[in-house]
Structure 1
Amino acid sequence: MMVGAVLTQNTSWTNVTKALEQIKAAGMMNYQSLLNVPHKLLAELIKPSGYYNLKAERLKNLLQMIENSYEGSLELLFADEPWAARDNLLQVKGVGPETADSILLYGGKHSVFVVDAYTHRVFSRHGLVPAECDYNELQELFMDNLKADHQLFNEYHALIVKVAKSYCKKAKPNCQECPLGVLQE
């Protein structure tokens, strides 16, 4: 899951899936193998995800932080207090708020709402947040107004992504068919 969180930066999930399949086919979809694999081989395996040299470095940085701060244990990372774990994740070069929060929500099952470009687009187009609303402000909106429940946050985010991909597209949005159109009435 954490590998996908890094690889999905600036690419489609289709490309990430191809990269993940290559890692699995090489028998390296485990913490120790990824930590020890040479950078060049890792970059080759994740090539379909784009920016493969940069992402290989980011993935190695993340794994090294887990090694140094959590004795190489994902269980210890996810057992840490969520905001402390988030701070540690954000110290990793190449891990921003969206990646850190994705790791905590989807991997650690912590009640941390993930904000992405889809979330911002849907909520700003419907006038629910200003266009210049930043990540923390948008995340706070959800964290303050939804019950703190990782399953709810997971499903809510998935529904936002579905609306964004089906109706609130970056180019040529289909506003007439959007199920959230009632918010504008």
Structure 2
Amino acid sequence: MRELLLEVFNKLLDRYGKQHWWPAQTKDEVVIGAILTQNTAWKNVEKAIDNLKKARLCSLNDINKAELDLIKEAIKPAGFFNQKGLYLKNVATFFHKHGGFDQLSKFNASKLRELLLSIKGVGRETADSILLYAFEKPMFVVDAYTKKFLKRHEILTSDDYELVQRFFMENLPKDVGLFNEYHALIVKNAKEYCRTKPICRGCPLEDLL
């Protein structure tokens, strides 16, 4: 299975090249984006982040100190702004309480994941995105695209998040760069070919169907 997963990775990389994820200027912005992207398209997240930057609220420290209504107003393009405003406050408070990235980085990936999941508004995909893209911890991110890709190629049929994650992490080298690029390439391929109505002709993985 390791050989198959690496073959898939190389085919996707050959077609699309490096994706340079996560698209953010700072680690704080990665965390903020991970919250805002819940249940919405990335183009809407970009609009919300632009608004936060204009309001000088695009850091966890600034969000921690800001009025909740100001945050909600800025992030309206990302949808569910009442809920996500509270989630951003929760995350910002958590980082402030625990000494920010410098102190939190001292925890191993497993412990840090446990701490992140204790925050209201942070689920497994969000926590793992923060771990991988902000803290650069080797944690494979699983999303709907990942599960769809595995099912359609009859590699793995389970919808269980932890099982799917273990599948990748136990069959690939534990490498942050590899996990980063692999997840980004799966998303890229899903948007290009592995859609709700798949376009199989021309897909870089066509010979694996």
Q: Do Structure 1 and Structure 2 share a fold, with TM-score over 0.5?
A: yes
> In structure 2, what is the Cα distance between the partners aligned to 1:92 and 1:139?
21
CA drift at 1:93: 0.9
Q: Is the 8 A contact 2:61 2:96 kept in 1?
A: no
Question: Is 2:127 the partner of 1:100?
Answer: yes
What is the aligned counterpart of 1:161 among 171, 187, 193?
Answer: 187
Q: Which runs of 4+ in 1 moved over 3 A?
A: none
2:137 is aligned to 110
Q: Is the 8 A contact 1:78 1:104 kept in 2?
A: no
CA drift at 1:67: 2.3
Give the unaligned 5+ runs of structure 2: 1-29
Question: Is 2:49 the partner of 1:26?
Answer: no
CA drift at 1:26: 1.0
2:107 is aligned to 80
Give the unaligned 5+ runs of structure 1: none
- Aligned pairs for 1:119-158 (under 5 A) are 119-130=146-157, 132-158=158-184
CA drift at 1:42: 0.4
> In structure 2, what is the Cα distance between the partners aligned to 1:98 and 1:133?
13
Question: Is 2:118 the partner of 1:91?
Answer: yes
Q: Provide the alpha-carbon RMSD of the alignment.
A: 1.0
Q: Is the 8 A contact 2:44 2:78 kept in 1?
A: yes
Q: Is the 8 A contact 2:60 2:95 kept in 1?
A: no
CA drift at 1:163: 1.0
TM-score (norm 2): 0.83
Give CA deviations for 1:53-90 in whole Å, capped at 9, x if unaligned. Answer: 1001111111122223x13x122122211110100000
Question: Is 2:77 the partner of 1:48?
Answer: yes
> In structure 2, what is the Cα distance between the partners aligned to 1:101 and 1:112?
6
> In structure 2, what is the Cα distance between the partners aligned to 1:149 and 1:79?
18
Question: Is 2:207 the partner of 1:182?
Answer: yes
> In structure 2, what is the Cα distance between the partners aligned to 1:117 and 1:155?
17
2:20 is aligned to none
Question: Is 2:95 the partner of 1:66?
Answer: yes
| Structure with bigger RCO (C-alpha 8 Å, 6+ apart) | 2
> In structure 2, what is the Cα distance between the partners aligned to 1:58 and 1:129?
32
> In structure 2, what is the Cα distance between the partners aligned to 1:39 and 1:31?
13
Percent identical: 45
Moved more, 73-82 or 105-114: 73-82
Q: How many residues align?
A: 180
Q: Is the 8 A contact 1:4 1:16 kept in 2?
A: yes
Query: What SS class does the counterpart of residue 16 from structure 1 fall into?
Result: helix
> In structure 2, what is the Cα distance between the partners aligned to 1:165 and 1:20?
22
TM-score (norm 1): 0.94
> In structure 2, what is the Cα distance between the partners aligned to 1:30 and 1:155?
25
